Amino acid sequence: MTSTTTPPTGWIHQFEKGTSDLTLLLLHGTGGNETSLWQLGRELAPQASLLSVRGRSLEEGSPRFFRRFSDIRYDQEHLKSEADALTTFVQEASQHYGFDPAKGVALGYSNGANIAVASLIRHPESLAGAVLWRPVMPLEAPVQVPLTAKPVLITLGAMDPYRPYARALLSYLQDSGAEVQTEELSSGHQLTRQDLMLTQRWLQQHFSA
């Protein structure tokens, strides 16, 4: 598997066609790239198509999906424009590679989870669901949109220093009508085997992965 920027253009990415209708949109954390979650995605959903994307913002050379002013203060305009651009890219990629974008599920870690949240809120129709590992609410004063019955899995680390900043996201999703499953693990910000077990079970339950 090699990374490519052609076509659709604009985002460095990897794609592999699966045998099921499900497509996982893999979104790495800060400092990762399009290869970071690849093996996990294949392990979690062996039959799914995988579309893994590299964030276009750089922080001291480390790829991210949007700029930030501090660990918890984000460049709102850049966040929104990149969420919109990512949504457009996925639509173009679906036509180029031949997968159904309506059956796409975001699987994001940390910064990748946060761009998935922004994309879901700004374009609710763009994702069938989302797995959010260690997310926070990245948008300031987000517009409430209906996400009725849209399945979302959130895994949080009880000892994660970002854990308190997830409260606003949980409240938002609860008010949106999304079908949210929240799991708090005895961990920090890093991923654990329990995250993966919960995710695999959730994917099988909601998407027959």
CA atoms of 50 and 37, how far apart (whole Å) = 10
Q: What is the number of alpha carbons within 13 Å of residue 208 lying toward its C-beta?
A: 4
Write out the chain's pLDDT in tens, 209 residues. Answer: 556 655 567 899 999 999 999 999 999 999 999 999 999 999 999 999 999 999 999 988 899 999 999 988 999 999 999 999 999 999 999 999 999 989 999 999 999 999 999 999 999 999 999 999 999 999 999 999 999 999 999 999 999 999 999 999 999 999 999 999 999 999 999 999 999 999 999 999 999 87
* pLDDT for the residue 6: 59
Q: Do the beta carbons of residue 56 and residue 41 sit within 8 Å?
A: no
Residues annotated as part of the active site = 110, 160, 189
Which pLDDT score is estimated for 30?
Answer: 96
| 112 closest CA partner among 193, 37, 162, 198 | 37
Contact 179, 209 (CB under 8 A): no
- Where would I find the beta strands (DSSP E) of 17-171? 23-27, 49-53, 57-59, 62-64, 68-70, 73-74, 104-109, 129-133, 151-157
pTM listed for this prediction: 0.95
Residue 178 phi/psi, 5-degree rounding, is -65, 155
d(CA 131, CA 109): 8
